[in-house]
Structure 1
Amino acid sequence: MQASYGNLLNNLPLDSSAEVFELLHERAGLKIERIVSNGQASPPGFWYDNPQEEWVLLLSGSAGLTLEGAREEHVMQPGTWLHIPAHCRHRIEWTDANQPTIWLAVHHEITSL
């Protein structure tokens, strides 16, 4: 197997008009990606409802997420992480429009211990 490497803060997309999802690693039941946002948000009324669990870490920028049923918005700053259970509906309310918001997202199957 070949080793792979990179830097999550380098080689950012030049076009900031759309969010960019970059697959970093994938295998059965696991997907790791870098997401770069530049002021994007979920469309009005749209909710993510992922069949896999998701763990996200914010590396730069800032963002606000709403989890369905939560009383308040979850504000994320660099270093903030969040675990989102499978089928926990959520949406991105806003991302920083003045600098790239860089996320590390780990999607994984539900496992029992």
Structure 2
Amino acid sequence: MNLFEDVPTQLPSELIEVLAEGESVRIERIVSTGHTTDPDNWYDQEQDEWVVVLKGEAKLRFDDGELVTMTPGDHLLIPAHRRHRVEWTTPDEPTVWIAIFFAQLRQR
């Protein structure tokens, strides 16, 4: 499979595809086309999440007010229970992400 095959350009909601998963890890391909998280909602996940933007751009907001802009190649480790949401994704082209969820890992 190629990560850029079958990337839709119009979606009613984000497309989340599980590429692989095991007992303590899940790898997803996410495609956003101008999607955001509802302003009243926050992701508050049980596992750490490592995310990378492969195509497009995105902005992530954390509940402490931090705003992170991500462009292709940018990656970020989001510790478990660090509340965040997708503030913005490029509306004129798909944003393609890879997200890896896993049990706590020591950062290098």
Alignment TM-score, normalising by the size of structure 1: 0.88
Report the CA distance between 1:15 and its aligned residue.
4.5
**1:3 matched to which residue of 2?**
none
| CA distance in 2 between partners of 1:77 and 1:107 (Å) | 20
Query: Across the two proteins, how many residue pairs are aligned to each other?
Result: 106
Please tell me whether residue 80 in structure 1 is matched to residue 77 in structure 2. Answer: no
Question: d(CA) in 2 for partners of 1:56 and 1:73?
Answer: 15
**For 1:23 and 1:34, how far apart are their aligned partners in 2?**
6
Residue 16, structure 1, aligned to residue 7, structure 2:
no
Per-residue CA shift, 1:58-79, capped at 9, x if unaligned? 0001010012214x41000000
Q: 1:18-97 residue pairs with structure 2 within 5 A?
A: 18-70=13-65, 72-97=66-91
Instruction: List per-residue Cα deviations over 1:60-102 (Å, max 9, x = no partner).
Output: 01010012214x4100000000100000000110110000000
Q: Distance in 2 between matches of 1:11 and 1:44?
A: 29
Q: Structure 2-normalised TM-score?
A: 0.92
Q: Kindly report the root-mean-square deviation, in angstroms, between the aligned alpha carbons of the 2 structures.
A: 1.4
Q: Percent identity?
A: 42
Does the residue aligned with 1:9 lie in a helix, a strand or coil?
coil
Other-structure match for 1:100: 94
Runs of 5+ consecutive residues of structure 1 not aligned to the other structure:
1-5
Provide, for residues 40-63 of structure 1, a one-character-per-residue CA deviation record: whole Å limited to 9, x for no partner.
001022100000000000000101
The structure whose Rg is larger is 1
Structure 2 portions without partners, runs of 5+: none
